[in-house]
Amino acid sequence: MNQYSCEHAMSSSRITAHFQGIWVPMVTPFLDGDGDIDFDAAQQLACELAASGIDGLVVCGTTGEAAMLSAAEQTMLLDSVLEAVGPRFPVVMGIGGSDTRGVVATVQRYHDHPLAGLLISAPSYVRPSQDGIVRHFQAIAAATDQSIVLYNVPARTGVNIEPQTAALLARDSHFVAIKEAGGKLQQLGELLLDTRLDVLCGDDALLLASLSMGGHGAMSAAAQVRPDLYAQLYHLVRQGRHGAAGALFKTMLPVIRLLFAEPNPAPVKAALAMQGKARDALRLPMTPMSAAGQAALAAALEPLMELPVWTASDRDAPREGCLLQLVSPANIMPAVRQDDHRHHG
């Protein structure tokens, strides 16, 4: 019997009504040498993130190098994170695949886990029609009682989940949110207007624009570094303090750009290694960030790490100290993305 199917488990028939706020897709820490998963580091990182003011975690997303983990490793990693943060802190499991039957079988493995939901991308590489995408997700929904967060990341999958397709799927209560990582604010706006889904930004450089348009939050790989600032940004926008939010985002943007200047998650792991939270170790074909990239990242991190720590107790308090005096909100830099395939968690 799965260890979570007893008294500590949430009901597997529970549908999470809303996915809002800041969700962090965790890296998967590895040990040096043999490259095995460092479960102790994963648990420590999960606990620190959960205490930082964010709203949830994602295990085995792209940032977690899920494609390089075996099925058994993925389950062990999920169990390890759930053990660390307990059933009350929301955790989503990332699932992907091109074969509908295979994805259905994977989904069923997590039937008894106390999850907030499943993050499922469109089939990759095979480039199905929109009808094929609908039928793919309908087959998955028929096989689970878990909430499903659609993951639209066409730069990785080769196919776009059109807003009309998302709206059609949203008629089924299993589908409660979408992580939109297509890089187009127009599509994000259409999702907000034409579907009932919670819309989570998947392009970190577009985070402020997304929130200002009415987006419900983000699944942000970059938020692994100073997650409290991303939670602060979310609450500033929710409070209508757009000038303060813009000023904060301008201080964050140089690091965000560097965290996606090379293929994800190499820069994020480099930053975490600089903070002493995880080794700078990846599994091939992923490789560590270049020496030049690490030097630039280290320099950019210094001022960011000096900003005051934000806590959940600060969400209703004015914050007019040194942070908001650093920059003028009238000069917000545009959120320019570089190479799409590098930018998604």
234 is catalytic: no
Question: Which residue out of 4, 110, 179, 234 is catalytically annotated?
Answer: 179
CA terminus-to-terminus distance, the chain: 31
- Mapping DSSP to helix (H, G, I), strand (E, B) and coil, where does residue 250 land? helix
With b for 16 or more beta-carbon neighbours within 10 A and e for fewer, the 150-168 pattern comes to: bbbbbbbbebbbbbebbbb
DSSP 10: P
CB atoms within 10 A of CB 321: 8
Q: Tell me how far apart the alpha carbons of residues 261 and 47 are, in angstroms, rounded to a whole number.
A: 28
230 is catalytic: no
Q: Tell me how far apart the alpha carbons of residues 50 and 19 are, in angstroms, rounded to a whole number.
A: 16
Residues 188, 201 contacting (CB under 8 angstroms): yes
Residues 133, 159 contacting (CB under 8 angstroms): yes
Question: Which residue out of 4, 110, 125, 151 is catalytically annotated?
Answer: 151
Residues composing the chain = 345
Q: How distant, in Å, are the alpha carbons of 148, 151, 225, 234, 305 from that of 140?
A: 9, 14, 33, 31, 42
Residues 248, 255 contacting (CB under 8 angstroms): no
Would you please indicate which residues are annotated as catalytic (active-site) residues? Answer: 151, 179
